[in-house]
């Protein structure tokens, strides 16, 4: 049986491309929800195209991995998937966001023994500038905000995203479209909200995310089709690459045409993308 807004275990957001001021988007989580209080939850963001969720099996796997590694009760994924399909079936192009918290209760940080999960499903407008980025490429700078190292949470898309908030604030002060983010040991990890693919000497590389960062669904899809080697990458090494791309499930593959004072030819980048990534 499908449960809707107001039922303890599940609720979902009927955002459906409405304005943020619409009442359907207001006060959906309790003030005592653990997601609000402690960031005790996780999410995934997916591309909706022609009424279908792109790479849905991988997004589903991400939700399961987060649930298991964070010690959440088993998710009722068939119900979530049904609700998702109901919301996206008439959308030509949009963004799906599924957000899950451990719900209310517990004593301080200690989680309740039998949590009642809160589930939000939103359908949002697609960021139109991503299409321009794919065609023309982007310019990036080095973020002054460095990521901490925490292997217990590395790779997971949890609700604790304060580092990314600070990274985005820092990026606004730089002359660039996005930033390259390193960890506290100065190893390249990711962009502000995307993974990194580096091409050097006919080989594909991506940074090691075992201590920091998020492994995106789109990167996982690429790894299933291409030999992408995991490597500790220094920022100067990135600038010396033959080509650099950032990627996530919404923007997909975006070429980087400038890393600070190093410029890359956009035609060469599109050719590298065609040869090595089949896009």
Q: Which residues are catalytic?
A: 45, 157, 190
Residues 6+ apart with CB under 8 A from 240: 200, 262
Give the Cα separation of 180 and 40 in Å (integer): 27
Instruction: Establish how many alpha carbons lie within 13 A of residue 39's alpha carbon, considering only the half-sphere containing its beta carbon.
Output: 9
- Chain mean position to CA 274: 24
- Quickly count: other Cβ atoms within 10 Å of residue 76's Cβ: 15
Give the Cα separation of 185 and 267 in Å (integer): 34
Residues 6+ apart with CB under 8 A from 8: 103, 116
Give the Cα separation of 144 and 104 in Å (integer): 36
Contact predicate 91/121, CB 8 Å: no
């Amino acid at each position: 049986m499908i449960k809707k807004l107001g039922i303890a275990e599940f609720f979902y957001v009927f955002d459906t491309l409405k304005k943020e001021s619409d009442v359907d988007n207001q006060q959906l989580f309790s003030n005592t929800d653990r997601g609000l209080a402690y960031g005790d939850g996780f999410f995934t963001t997916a591309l909706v195209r022609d009424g279908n969720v792109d790479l849905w099996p991988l997004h589903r796997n991400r939700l399961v991995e987060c649930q298991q590694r964070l010690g959440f009760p088993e998710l009722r994924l068939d119900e979530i998937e049904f609700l998702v399909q109901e919301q996206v079936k008439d959308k030509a192009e949009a963004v799906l966001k599924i957000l899950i918290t451990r719900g209310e209760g517990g004593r301080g940080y200690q989680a309740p023994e039998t949590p009642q999960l809160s589930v939000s499903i939103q359908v949002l407008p697609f960021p139109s500038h991503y299409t321009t980025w794919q065609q023309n490429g982007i310019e990036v700078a080095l973020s002054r905000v460095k990521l901490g190292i925490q292997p217990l949470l590395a790779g997971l898309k949890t609700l604790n995203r304060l580092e990314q908030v600070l990274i985005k604030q820092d990026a606004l002060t730089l002359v660039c479209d996005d930033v390259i983010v390193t960890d506290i040991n100065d190893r390249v990890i990711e962009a502000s909200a995307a993974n990194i693919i580096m091409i050097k000497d006919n080989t594909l590389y991506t940074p090691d995310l075992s201590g920091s960062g998020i492994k995106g669904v789109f990167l996982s899809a690429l790894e299933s089709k291409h030999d992408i080697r995991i490597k500790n990458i220094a920022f100067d090494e990135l600038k010396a690459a033959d080509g650099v791309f950032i990627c996530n499930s919404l923007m997909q593959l975006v070429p980087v045409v400038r890393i600070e004072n190093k410029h890359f030819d956009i035609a060469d980048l599109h050719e590298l993308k065609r040869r090595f990534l089949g896009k």
